[in-house]
Structure 1
């Protein structure tokens, strides 16, 4: 598991700035990164786009994508990550959208989180992780940990 400090150290080493686009975590990834003193030299900005309107307005997620796939989808995670990259001074952006709970459905169960990782000059990575119905707080914490691991891998 990568810590926020390790992610920032790697970004600093490579001269990479980071942005986040968060839905289900409500800014917790940005919070983890900015909890580390000195993070301002590599953390550029975070977008908290909880509503579909915010995803469209702040990140450029297309209405057609939201209507076709729903907010909790790899397609939306991809557009969120790419939008954060385009709308920031960052070279690396991570995005998360999911169902922290309680709730969900048989098609989109509680604990499903879709991740997007956009990096300048590289194809955008997307993946879905099923954390399961472990509770809202634990899903959000696990999402932060996984997002930090994705950033660390991209910077390795």
Structure 2
């Protein structure tokens, strides 16, 4: 296993483990990497110092030294005030709105036309669907994050 520090186009840094450097390269080329903070697919390896044990350390001692020198801040801790505000906004949207998934455009249109009760919703829409909503005067706005996806 190999741990890489990754960075997205929004400057979010996070760590991720890969089976090997070849496994990382395969996932990167296939576009299967996403930012753990904002969901951006534009993710690259960040510059990082190698974790090499000092000469003379045994296999049993090396992991302990690596853990002792690791950054004590948890990965879930916000890195800046902006990231903390972003996290609060995401939490509020998720708590106070209904996630409608890929049916966002049709749900927004139904509410605008009075065919469904108005309520706060969020979800996903294709670019052409979102443009059509805006052209038709339906008030929508993009969110600066991807919805959380359930995995395994």
Question: Shorter-chain-normalised TM-score: which range?
Answer: under 0.3
Which has the larger share of strand? Answer: 1
Choose between structure 1 and 2 for higher RCO, CA contacts under 8 A separated by at least 6 residues.
1
Which has the larger share of helix? Answer: 1
